[in-house]
A and B are shown apart, each in its own frame.
Chain A
Amino acid sequence: MPKPLSDAELEHRIHDALPRLLRLATRLSGNADVAEDALQDALLKVSRSWKRFRGEAALETWMTRILIRCVADQLRKRGRLHESIQEDNRQDVSRQLGPVEQTLADERREQVRLAIGQLPDRQREVLALSLWEGKSTEQIAELLRISKQNVYANLHAARSRLKQLLKDA
């Protein structure tokens, strides 16, 4: 079991983890503004509940769990996800493609992100943690507090749903 951290150590480690946490929040929410707001909420919660962190889980796991909840809450407050994704998607374009391929690739990227935005929260979380964050099934199960079978089931359901949504699109 990890040892409880001192206040200074905890401050320092969260400070260092901010880029990674922002990236995770962006992946979970699909929108940079939502991600920033969610991370701010998460930091506030962390600063208020340090005394409740008993060191039973790793700091990263504890912080990530809080962040996942804050992202879900932010999305709930702002309504569904795909509305906010649209405005945020046109920025990163592959530089290696020609103009036609680039347009097609952009279009598909946008379709995929919109489709992911329409997934139920749990499926989207599992998908983001698995494919974008590269977490193992065990890690995802621990973070989301679900069984490994449940992780597999959600991943499978997410893929099936995505295929259908992309076909419809």
Chain B
Amino acid sequence: MNQDRQTESDLSNDLPDDETLDRWIRQADPGSSSRSVEMLRDHWGQCVNQRRKRKRLVANVAWVTAACLLLSIGGRSIWIHSNTKIVQHADAPHMKERSTDPSDVPGDGLSGSDLQPKPISEDRVRRDIASNVPAEQNKNDHPASDTVADESTLLSRFHAEIEDLPVDDRVARLQLIADLRRLSWQQATELINGISQWGNNQHRKLAMAVLSAAAGNDATSIQVHWLSMSATRGDAWESLVRSSTSVQWNELVRLAKSDDERTLLCRRWVDAWQSGGLDQLVSMSSLAPWRPSIEQAAEKLNVDAAIDLLDRIDNESPPQQAAAAFVLASIESPQVDQLFMEMITQGRRRVVAYQALMVRDRPRNHQFLNYAQQRYDLSPALLTAQQRLQRWAGPAFQWVSETRSNDDENENLLFDLDGDRFDLVAARFASEWSGT
């Protein structure tokens, strides 16, 4: 009888009491019909395997780098260094002095160590010749020492070949690459250095592409060598950055010299933000020379990256929060602000979303913050956000302001926002939010 009355009450249109409502909610539990987790177990297994692979790769790269370092310290290898002392122009005698130590043979894949300037061994060139030229052609080859080829003639012949190379003729290009692989070490060196004197940029760029292809696994070393010559540096840098992977980025950071080069590298990180690029952008934000480039490149950062950055602001230590906030502030898309505003109005992660809006410092955000301050349900989180922001956001505000005013050359300013300056920034924000 009692139960009948209860069921009747349940099904009526009156407002249910708390107990009835809770009972209904429990009955509506979507978790009571659970699916199989086999697919998820497979997915987790794949995640774990990928992580192990990444760890192994990093460990291998570390070992190779350490080994290269030891060899360089021990004097067992002479580096082609991007130092002006070594090569500014064609300088064959220097190249002849290079070591033919077997230890300089590169591995199968490119790694961070490939970006260390390193010697291109004559043995290696010979092996490439042997492995790439058909046997009957090899029979007709003269030994390197017997080759009678005037160096200037060789360079001009190569120039002529490049000039005549049809743009779309893949076969002709492959033939030229095969011919280049048959050159002796001295001849190859002459060409590698000689193209820096060419006046025509298009021809030089094409020559660099062909020589890189002919060098096979040594291409990276040659491109690093070209960085030491002003005429070839731009194209070599572009090529290095374009083909780089996450394990090579730290080496490239050391080699970058100008804002343009840094910006190009930052754009590569933006393109690969899900594969470690975002980590790189955030970590480099704490270095003043990198910030203008990061700001420029991060304009185009994917909106989904904003959520990742929000997580970092929510979870990391103050210096990393500031770095993540700087990258976040650089994203141009107004969708990012829209996303944070939606989060706030929907009651999701309000405090950190408010912090993000304040750091991004756009006029539309100020309007929204003013509006939120008037709303009794939105203002408590805003207050908390303002308090939290004071703990870490000083450097971020400073970096954004300095970078936007193109006055960001002094690295000593890092983390140097004193209490007075922070108060000034905070006061400006407070007055804007309160609409005064």
Contacts and interface: CB of A to CB of B under 8 A. Distances in A.
- Chain A complexes with chain B: yes
Contacts of A6: none
> Majority SS of interface residues in chain A?
helix
A88 B34 contact: no
B40 A43 contact: yes
A116 B347 contact: no
A18 B37 contact: yes
Given A15-B41, A121-B346, A23 B34 contact: yes
Contact of A113 (B28, B43, B349): B28
Contacts of B134: none
Size band of the interface chain B makes with A: 35 or more
B11 interface: yes
A14 B44 contact: yes
A131 B47 contact: no
A44 interface: yes
Given A112-B28, A159-B21, A91 B34 contact: no
B25 A167 contact: no
Interface centre among B15, B28, B29, B339 (most CB of A within 10 A): B28
Contact of B43 (A40, A73, A132): A40
A72 interface: yes
Given A18-B44, A73-B307, A104-B11, A120 B34 contact: no
B257 interface: no
Say which size band chain A's interface belongs to.
35 or more
A43 B21 CA distance: 34
A122 B16 contact: no
Contacts of B25: 112, 116, 127, 131-132, 162
Nearest to A110: B28
A50 B50 CA distance: 13
Contact of A123 (B11, B24, B35, B347): B347
- Residue from A69, A73, A85, A154 having most chain B Cβ neighbours under 10 A: A69
B26 A122 contact: no
Contacts of A22: 34-35, 37, 40
Contact of A120 (B28, B311, B315, B346): B346
Contacts of B26: 131-132
Interface in B394-417: none
A79 B285 CA distance: 34
B380 to A, nearest CB: 9
Q: Which of A47, A109, A122 has the most CB of B within 10 A?
A: A47
A90 to B, nearest CB: 11
Given A43-B43, A112-B25, A91 B11 contact: no
Nearest to A27: B31
Contacts of A85: 30
Interface string A88-102: 110110100000010
Interface of A: 11, 14-15, 18-19, 22-24, 26-27, 30-32, 36, 39-40, 43-44, 46-48, 50, 52, 69, 72-73, 76, 85, 88-89, 91-92, 94, 101, 104-105, 108-109, 112-113, 116, 120-123, 127, 131-132, 154, 159, 162-164, 166-167
26 contacts: A14-B44, A26-B31, A31-B30, A40-B40, A43-B44, A44-B47, A46-B47, A47-B44, A48-B51, A52-B315, A52-B316, A109-B27, A112-B24, A112-B25, A112-B28, A120-B346, A120-B347, A121-B348, A122-B348, A132-B31, A162-B21, A163-B16, A166-B16, A166-B24, A167-B14, A167-B15
Given A112-B25, A159-B21, A164-B15, 10 more contacts: A18-B40, A22-B35, A27-B31, A43-B44, A92-B33, A121-B346, A123-B347, A131-B26, A132-B25, A162-B25
